[in-house]
Each structure stands twice: as structure tokens, then as C-alpha cells.
Amino acid sequence: MQAAPGDQRRLLDLAGIDTSIAQATHRRATLPVLATLADLGRQRSLLSDELTAANARLSDVEVDQERLESDLTPARERLVRNQQRVDAGAITDPKALSGMLDEIEHLKVRIAKLEDDELEVMQVIEDLTSERDAIAARRAEVDATGREQVAVRNAHFAKIDTELAELATERDLTAKDIPAELIDLYERLRARIGSGAAALADGRCTGCQLEATLADLRRYNAAPADEVLRCEECGRILVRPATA
């Protein structure tokens, strides 16, 4: 393939722009803030699981409290009714009165036991609520930090995206004057090995960094200036010093 030395020189300009684009793209994908956000995401997921479990434990104990209260309410009401009947002298039969008094004592014992159980459950609810609230607070802190880090990420993205847009414009301007056949070869090589062209400097390909053999150097030097050479080692388009 033949191409004017100036067109070959533009390939090196294009390769430099492509390197800058690759570097900027790599920076965008490896920003430290992305690792921070990923870690915050893992923390939030764990805290969300903990919060769900804490809410489930709290809900179970609240059900226990409701059950105790549902047992206490009728027991208290029955105790009040029975006590009122006794106090009013409504029961005149000694045997019935004795039975009523026994039931009142039984109700008092049962109510005391239920109230003790309820106090214990209320303490558990208080402890579980504190635990749940602490987890929720930690998750809120993670969320707040996450929002801050998202803003940092977006600022970095905006800066790099502006840089990439400028490089893309520069690339288009550089590539548009390169002959189609030459640019097509460059693009095929770039897609395969990451860079389509490199300079020959001090007998070395600056793409693969390998020295050319003496035989290859003689062939490179003897070739016409418009001949498009390829590195024998990596296959890149090799731009000689005379055309660089």
C-alpha cells in the first residue's frame, strides 16, 4: 500500500489521540469513587437485610404484646365485674360467694402473671426498637455518604466526558483527511491490537518496543517514502523517521 508521508504522519497524530481517549476512558472506568460507591452499595445491602430482620423480630414481639393484651383485657374486666358483685353483696349463697372469691384470687394471679410477661415483652420491644433505629440510622448515614459520593462521581464523569468529546472532535478532524484505504487498515489494526500505527525510532517500533533486525532496517530504509510499512513483530503500520 502507498500513502503520502504526510498522511502517514497524521496516523501518528491519530494514534496519539486514540491513546488519550483510551486513557481517559480507563480513568472514567477506574475512578476511586466508583470503588467507594460499590463498597457503600454493599454496606447498604447488608444494612437493609439487617433492618428487615430487625423489623421482623420487632413485629413478632409486638404480636406477643397484642396477644398478652388481648388476654389481659377480658381478665381485668371479669375481675372488676366479680369484685363489684362481691362488694355490692349481690351473692348471698356462701358456696357461690366462696367460689367467686376463689375466682377473684385466681384472676388476680393470672393478671399479675400476664402483666409481668407484658412488662418483659415491652422491655424487649424497647431494646429491639433501639436496635432497629440504630441500624436505620447507620443506613441513613450510608445513604447520605452515597449521595455525596454520587455527586463526586458525576463531577468527575462530567469533566472526563467533556475531555472525551473534545478528543472525539479532534479525532474526527484528524481522520477526515487520511485516505480511506489507509484509515481502514489503521482501524482494523487498532481493533485487533489496540493501536494501529507506531513510529520507528532508533531502530525500534514504539508500539511493541522491539528492535528491528538489521535486515528489516535495511528494507525499511530502502523502501520508497510513500510505501506503507508494517512492523514485522506486532503488525502495526510503521512510520519511519523520514516521514515522521
Instruction: Please tell me the class of the 31-162 domain.
Output: mainly alpha
3-state SS of the chain?
CECCHHHHHHHHHHHHHHHHHHHHHHHHHCCHHHHHHHHHHHHHHHHHHHHHHHHHHHHHHHHHHHHHHHHHHHHHHHHHHHHHHHHCCCCCCHHHHHHHHHHHHHHHHHHHHHHHHHHHHHHHHHHHHHHHHHHHHHHHHHHHHHHHHHHHHHHHHHHHHHHHHHHHHHHHHHHCCCCHHHHHHHHHHHHHHCCCEEEEECCEECCCCCECCHHHHHHHHHCCCCECEECCCCCCEEECHHHC
Domain ranges in the chain?
5-25+179-243, 31-162
Per-residue pLDDT of the chain (244 residues; tens, 9 = 90+): 999 999 999 999 999 999 999 999 999 999 999 999 999 999 999 999 999 999 999 999 999 999 999 999 999 999 999 999 999 988 888 999 999 999 999 999 999 999 999 999 999 999 999 999 999 999 999 999 999 999 999 999 999 999 999 999 999 999 998 999 999 999 999 999 989 999 999 999 999 999 999 999 999 989 999 999 999 999 999 998 764 4
User: Whole-prediction pTM value?
Assistant: 0.76
